[in-house]
Amino acid sequence: MVLLKISYSPDDFDIDTYTLVGSDGNSILNEISINSPIGNAIFQKRLVI
């Protein structure tokens, strides 16, 4: 699972949890396919704080 912050402007943003899936993603179920551009970009990445 990944947590994404989507910014529309500095004061307007959404934070949602998504599940990376190997098949076609379903946006209604908050799924992102690892074959999509955004899924491929974040697949197997780690955030180090």
Return the pLDDT at 48: 67
Question: Does residue 47 sit within a domain?
Answer: no
Number of domains in the chain: 1
Return phi, psi of residue 17, to 5°. Answer: -100, 135
Question: Does residue 35 sit within a domain?
Answer: yes
Question: Does residue 48 sit within a domain?
Answer: no
* Residue numbers of the domain that contains 35: 2-42
Instruction: Give a three-class secondary structure readout of 6-40.
Output: EEEECCEEEEEEEEEECCCCCHHHCEEECCCHHHH
Return the pLDDT at 44: 82
Question: Does residue 12 sit within a domain?
Answer: yes
11-48 pLDDT, tens per residue?
Answer: 999 999 999 999 888 888 999 999 999 899 988 887 76
Residue 40 to residues 9, 11, 33, Cα–Cα distance (Å): 25, 28, 8
Q: Tell me: pLDDT of 8 over 70.
A: yes
Please state the pTM of the whole predicted model.
0.70
Question: Does residue 19 sit within a domain?
Answer: yes
